Amino acid sequence: MVCIKSFANDGYKLWLQYNHIQDKQIRTSYQSNIKRIIPFGNSETIKVALKELELGLNGMLGSKVLSGTKNNIESNSLMFGSESSLNEIVKNQLGNAFNEINDEGFVIKTISIKGKNQIIITGKNDVGVLYGVFKFLRLLQTHQSIENLNIIDAPKIKVRVLNHWDNLDRTVERGYAGFSIWDWHRLPDYIDSRYRDYARANASIGINGTVLNNVNANALILTPQYLEKVEALANVFRPYGIKVYLTTRFSAPIEIGGLETADPYDAEVIAWWKNKVKEIYSKIPDFGGFLVKANSEGQPGPQNYGRNHVDGANMLADALTPFGGVVMWRAFVYSEHDITDRAKQAYSEFVPYDGQFKDNVIIQVKNGAIDFQPREPFHPMFGTMPKTPLMMEFQITQEYLGQSTHTVFLPKLYEEVLQSDTYKKGKGSTVAKIIDGSLDNKVLTGIAGVSNIGNDINWTGNPMLQANWYGFGRLAWNPYLSSEEIADEWLRSTFSNDEKFVKPVKDMLLSSREAVVNYMTPLGLHHIMDTGHHYGPGPWVSDLSRPEWNPVYYHKADSLGVGFDRTPSGSNATAQYAPQVASKFNNLETCPEEDLLWFHHVSWDFKLKNGKTLWDGMALKYQEGVDQVASMISIWEEAKPYVDEERFSDVYMLLNIQHKEAKWWRDACLLYFQEFSQKSLPVGVEKSTQTLDYFKSLKFTFAPGN
Ligand code: BDP
């Protein structure tokens, strides 16, 4: 049977569509297993779990599921509650499942009471129960069997946060989905229902924290006026297991505290932060802590006072320690006064501090050493600093990947980074094992995703990019999940379970990341986007004051060839990796071709593995990227019968823009690099109908997110 189109759909419901299950056999099997839902306990978290189950089951099964109480467990109930709420009969049937989970984990098990099958969803705490409820609903959303369940699962990473680069005026730095969802002006009295839906969505994928404001912080967020607003949000999020965190401006003691300095050694400054933290916890007892961007891109920091990152981070950590808060200190630093390769600077600056940070400090490191490019080799810091907890910072918003118009399925990128082998402790020392703490026995572990959420009706500006929020959350829960699994469950929950839809669209998602690499930055090219807004190609830009802000700094094209030599004959950035990794990258024979120009400056005639010259190979990659987008469009056209009109046409229009822009990238970059290579385009690569001057003349004064 062909799936019936669902009703008009603006995408607001994300992956929590809970569409009526059309397949009668599946539906009746679910109905016969869930005759009643029975909550154990009545905390706020259990109440939201009950509400979610009612919403989900009523939607999917199309009939109202009865609720019951502990005392009327009859046939085939779905029971849920934390360990302490369970009676002996239930507990006995769970064996030692509780020993296998942590505080946020859950157990979903089919047990027998009064000779009848019952399903129990439990955890050590209510929030684990809530995660279990969402997992259970997902089983139904993806049409899986709920007979004989025995699922035990728990998150592998402790701090799983979104980073909102949201300003207090509601603009969003690098935001492409409208304005900030935080209505600061009307908080704390006006609670937008969207805050709850935001929390539901995050809880459904296991995200347990949110940093509300931009890393380029405004000190005002720490004033009593704003802390009241933050408190109101924290109150909404609490039942969903979501803690709030704030970014702090290092100079806040001066800006809002009336002090003359923010020197972390100054007694008054230390006292100011201690009091400020106390004030925050008096309003928000479960406040998560601070995220800090210091001495980076002009932000103030301890170095303004001749101190270092350790001094700054530890001072804040001391203030937070009595309350259990953490400091997420960012390692995204590079300086215009440092003439060494920008890719080396964070490592050079931070690695000597290994072991000096307090226990509640975690260093937040971007996935690669430059800045969220379509492809970057993993950040060398992950392969070192054994005594310091390191957390991952991924970007979900697509600053450098076509922003919210281009469909790029990012879990593929995240997976590639997480599965990279650092060789920190020999073969198999993947980034995932560093992030989840298993390699170095770390207690404090974390992962952050720079959010792609705004107040657009569909949250992310493009319905397909909801998958990146979803995928980030799923990988934060379990960094070993495959991108394919994530694509599969997201598509089924968000659109349709019909195989004729799922299979091709999944292939489309999984190839979309390589497509963007091909039409923007093939073979290891990087940071050649137009500057400032980073929208569109700008490999020619060379006039910015800071050398490392210019694309020419990164590609180094000349008449002989192209690429950044980071081997020992060049910047020697490869020396920051373990010897096994460094030698792989150094050697032209073993360096993965996808990273070639990241690590090597090679001639235009360099022979690629397929026998083509670098120039021909590069041109063909650009063309391949364009062709890939064309086939994404064809796949989407075929998907039409399975998708509601609104989301279908939204995505369709956006894919067409992506196609147009992929050609723009191909043409602008090839015309530009051709000036150096002086070679003609190989057969199969379409010629530009415009001149290089035309591309250079394009200006986007009001490009978003800038
Ligand atoms: C870059 C962005 C900039 C951010 C910065 C950061 O262009 O807007 O403030 O990173 O991460 O990617 O601090």
Instruction: State the distance from the centre of ligand 1 to the C-alpha of 550, rounded, in angstroms.
Output: 15
In terms of domains, do 60 and 181 share one?
A: no
CATH number at 82 reads 3.30.379.10
With beta carbons less than 8 A apart as the criterion, state whether 374 and 422 touch. Answer: no
Query: Within a domain: residue 190?
Result: yes
Q: What CA–CA distance (Å, rounded) separates 117 from 34? A: 10
Helix (H) / strand (E) element for 664: namely: helix 645-677
Helix axes 193-205, 126-141, angle to 10 degrees: 80
Query: Within a domain: residue 69?
Result: yes
Q: What CA–CA distance (Å, rounded) separates 522 from 625? A: 9
In terms of domains, do 147 and 201 share one?
A: no
In terms of domains, do 170 and 147 share one?
A: no
Ligand 1 atom nearest to CA at 296? 13
Q: What CA–CA distance (Å, rounded) separates 599 from 386? A: 25
CATH number at 324 reads 3.20.20.80
Residue identified by tokens 């669902």 is 6
SS3 378: strand
CA atoms within 13 A on the CB side of 691: 3
H-type alpha helices, 142-266: 193-205, 224-237, 252-255
Q: Which among 153, 371, 595, 650 is annotated as catalytic? A: 371
In terms of domains, do 244 and 268 share one?
A: yes
Instruction: State the distance from the centre of ligand 1 to the C-alpha of 516, rounded, in angstroms.
Output: 20
Question: Is the C-beta atom of 533 inside 6 A of ligand 1?
Answer: no
Instruction: State the distance from the centre of ligand 1 to the C-alpha of 520, rounded, in angstroms.
Output: 20
In terms of domains, do 129 and 168 share one?
A: no
Q: Which residue's CA is minimally distant from atom 12 of ligand 1?
A: 371
Q: What CA–CA distance (Å, rounded) separates 534 from 528? A: 9
Closest residue by Cα to residue 60 from 85, 29, 94: 29
Ligand 1 atom nearest to CA at 173? 8
Residue 333, token pair as written in the block = 């630093």
Question: Is the C-beta atom of 372 inside 6 A of ligand 1?
Answer: yes
SS3 673: helix
From 171, 215, 396, 531, give the residue whose CB has the most ligand 1 atoms within 8 Å, as the site to mutate. Answer: 215
Parallel, antiparallel or unpaired: strands 159-163 and 446-450: parallel
Ramachandran region, residue 610 (left: φ > 0; alpha: ψ -120 to 50; beta: rest): alpha
Q: What CA–CA distance (Å, rounded) separates 252 from 221? A: 10
Residue 233, token pair as written in the block = 């949000």
From 214, 299, 371, give the residue whose CB has the most ligand 1 atoms within 8 Å, as the site to mutate. Answer: 371
371 annotated active-site: yes
Beta bridge partners of 537: 529
Query: Within a domain: residue 319?
Result: yes
* The residue type at 619: A
CA atoms within 13 A on the CB side of 146: 29
State the pLDDT at residue 69. 80
Which segments of the chain have a pLDDT < 70? 1-7
In terms of domains, do 144 and 232 share one?
A: no
Instruction: State the distance from the centre of ligand 1 to the C-alpha of 341, rounded, in angstroms.
Output: 18
Q: Which among 197, 255, 297, 686 is annotated as catalytic? A: 297
In 367-459 the beta strands, taken as DSSP E runs, fall at: 390-395, 446-450
Q: Which residue's CA is minimally distant from atom 1 of ligand 1?
A: 371
Question: Is the C-beta atom of 174 inside 6 A of ligand 1?
Answer: yes
Residue identified by tokens 């980076």 is 296
State the pLDDT at residue 405. 97
Give the chain's domain count.
3
Q: What are the pLDDT digits (tens) for 359-386? A: 999 999 999 999 999 999 999 999 999 9
Ligand 1 atom nearest to CA at 395? 12
With beta carbons less than 8 A apart as the criterion, state whether 383 and 604 touch. Answer: no
Residue 265, token pair as written in the block = 């050694």
Instruction: State the distance from the centre of ligand 1 to the C-alpha of 633, rounded, in angstroms.
Output: 31
Query: Within a domain: residue 175?
Result: yes
Instruction: State the distance from the centre of ligand 1 to the C-alpha of 330, rounded, in angstroms.
Output: 11
Q: Can you spell out the DSSP letters for 261-329?
A: ---TT-HHHHHHHHHHHHHHHHH-TT--EEEE--SSTT---GGGGT--HHHHHHHHHHHHGGGT-EEEE
Q: What is the DSSP letter of 430?
A: B
Query: Within a domain: residue 209?
Result: yes
Question: Is the C-beta atom of 527 inside 6 A of ligand 1?
Answer: no
Instruction: State the distance from the centre of ligand 1 to the C-alpha of 327, rounded, in angstroms.
Output: 19
In terms of domains, do 182 and 142 share one?
A: no
Question: Is the C-beta atom of 371 inside 6 A of ligand 1?
Answer: yes
Q: What CA–CA distance (Å, rounded) separates 30 from 146? A: 7
Of 137, 153, 169, the domain-final residue:
153
Q: Which among 399, 498, 530, 644 is annotated as catalytic? A: 399
From 167, 171, 172, 174, give the residue whose CB has the most ligand 1 atoms within 8 Å, as the site to mutate. Answer: 174
Q: What CA–CA distance (Å, rounded) separates 3 from 26? A: 14
State the pLDDT at residue 7. 54
Ramachandran region, residue 234 (left: φ > 0; alpha: ψ -120 to 50; beta: rest): alpha
Question: Is the C-beta atom of 594 inside 6 A of ligand 1?
Answer: no
SS3 362: strand
With beta carbons less than 8 A apart as the criterion, state whether 662 and 405 touch. Answer: no
Torsion of CA 375, 380, 382, 387, to 10 degrees: -170
Cα Rg of the chain, angstroms: 26
Question: Is the C-beta atom of 83 inside 6 A of ligand 1?
Answer: no
In terms of domains, do 413 and 439 share one?
A: yes
Instruction: State the distance from the centre of ligand 1 to the C-alpha of 697, rounded, in angstroms.
Output: 25
Residue 615, token pair as written in the block = 């120039």
Q: What CA–CA distance (Å, rounded) separates 340 from 135? A: 48
Instruction: State the distance from the centre of ligand 1 to the C-alpha of 332, rounded, in angstroms.
Output: 9
In terms of domains, do 366 and 468 share one?
A: yes
Q: Which residues contact 569 (CB under 8 A, 6 or more apart)?
A: none
Question: Is the C-beta atom of 629 inside 6 A of ligand 1?
Answer: no
Of 120, 153, 186, the domain-final residue:
153
State the pLDDT at residue 68. 81
Q: What are the pLDDT digits (tens) for 476-485? A: 999 999 999 9
Whole-model pTM: value is: 0.98
Ligand 1 atom nearest to CA at 216? 9
Of 153, 185, 215, the domain-final residue:
153
State the pLDDT at residue 3. 44
311 annotated active-site: no
In terms of domains, do 380 and 528 share one?
A: no
With beta carbons less than 8 A apart as the criterion, state whether 477 and 590 touch. Answer: no
Query: Within a domain: residue 574?
Result: no
From 213, 292, 332, give the residue whose CB has the most ligand 1 atoms within 8 Å, as the site to mutate. Answer: 332
Parallel, antiparallel or unpaired: strands 77-80 and 116-122: parallel
H-type alpha helices, 335-428: 342-350, 411-418
Question: Is the C-beta atom of 293 inside 6 A of ligand 1?
Answer: yes
Helix (H) / strand (E) element for 46: namely: helix 44-61
Parallel, antiparallel or unpaired: strands 150-153 and 106-113: antiparallel
Helix (H) / strand (E) element for 210: namely: strand 209-211
Helix (H) / strand (E) element for 122: namely: strand 116-122
Q: What CA–CA distance (Å, rounded) separates 467 from 408? A: 9
In terms of domains, do 216 and 364 share one?
A: yes
605 annotated active-site: no
State the pLDDT at residue 309. 98
Q: How many CB atoms lie within 10 A of CB 355?
A: 10
Query: Within a domain: residue 9?
Result: no
Q: Which residues form the domain of 105?
A: 24-153
181-187: long-range pairs with CB below 8 Å, 24+: 181/453, 181/454, 181/455, 182/212, 182/233, 184/226, 184/229, 187/228, 187/229, 187/232, 187/233
Q: Which residues contact 691 (CB under 8 A, 6 or more apart)?
A: 671
Residue 577, token pair as written in the block = 């990796």
From 176, 297, 450, give the residue whose CB has the most ligand 1 atoms within 8 Å, as the site to mutate. Answer: 297
In terms of domains, do 71 and 169 share one?
A: no
Query: Within a domain: residue 545?
Result: yes
